[in-house]
A = this chain, B = another copy of it.
Amino acid sequence: MDRPDRVGRQQILKVHTRKVVLAADVKLEDVAALTPGFTGADLANLVNEAALVATRGGADRIGMNDFNVAIERIVAGLEKKNRLRNPREREIVAHHEMGHAFVAAALPGSDAVHKISIIPRGIGALGYTIQRPTEDRYLMTREELENKMAVLLGGRAAEHLVFGHLSTGAADDLAKVTDIARSMVTRFGMGAALGPVTYESEPTTFLGQAYGSRRLYAEETAREIDVAVRGIVEAQFHRAQAILVTNRALLADAAGLLLANETLSGVQLDDVLRRVGKEVGPRLAAAATA
């Protein structure tokens, strides 16, 4: 399921075109640029297909046009197989992933982002943003959990800010955020209204589903939990939004760069994220004087 980026595709093409004769107008860099979403196998197939096209046309070498024809055919096949994404979706995903990265960059205590990509990994995935935790955690403070939630909500916040829409692309992020917020309230005693009391145990799974944690608490308590969870999540969404509003122009540039490169890491990524303004909010101001 792992697909190469543009540079990767150019290198793969170089390998597969070693034994064929290319016309002078063929630039593998351009072919790579035209084949986002192609796997290594797809690229090998492309070279064969282009050779066939050229042969049928009576040519003794593969021209750029042969590649164009072959690409068109393969894309049509791939589209049916559901593997390529339309440009609009790619644009949304680029902003979504960059949203995660920007919020992480703006929060001093947050783990650094070291790779970001719009090439999907796995079925149903959009893209991915990888944070390398500087160290493994035995315990996490409320502030660290809140930062983690803000980063997770950065994708949705970016989509909403740039496109004015809400999409299904944030469903997994919301599920993770809700799990964290719910644990804060029901297991870590971090919901002010609910006291240092445990309301739910860690679930035990049976048939692939949580079975264990029976709900003993009252309806009114359940509502207090819901209200507390919602309050925590909304506060973090607003933090994420505030960060992205502040860095809106930079976000557009960064998303453009990601769209062009599909994957960013190392120096290029550092260059972008270094310029993200750090969050200055009441919490941090307070923390600074503490």
Residues of A within 8 A of B (CB): 79, 82, 85-86, 89, 92-93, 120, 124, 126, 135-143, 145, 153, 156, 163-171, 174-175, 177-179, 181-182, 187-190, 194-201, 204, 206-212, 214-223, 225-226, 229-230, 233-234, 237, 290
Copies assembled:
6
Which residues on B sit within 8 Å (CB–CB) of A141? 163, 165-168
Which residues on B sit within 8 Å (CB–CB) of A188? 166-168, 170-171, 174
A136 near B169: Cβ-Cβ < 8 Å: no
A229 near B290: Cβ-Cβ < 8 Å: no
Which residues on B sit within 8 Å (CB–CB) of A196? 153, 156, 170, 174, 177, 233-234, 237
A-B contact pairs, 29 of them (CB 8 A): A86-B135, A89-B137, A92-B139, A93-B139, A120-B138, A140-B168, A141-B167, A142-B166, A142-B167, A145-B168, A166-B190, A170-B196, A174-B187, A174-B188, A174-B189, A174-B196, A177-B196, A177-B197, A178-B199, A181-B197, A182-B216, A206-B207, A209-B214, A210-B212, A218-B219, A218-B220, A218-B222, A219-B222, A220-B226
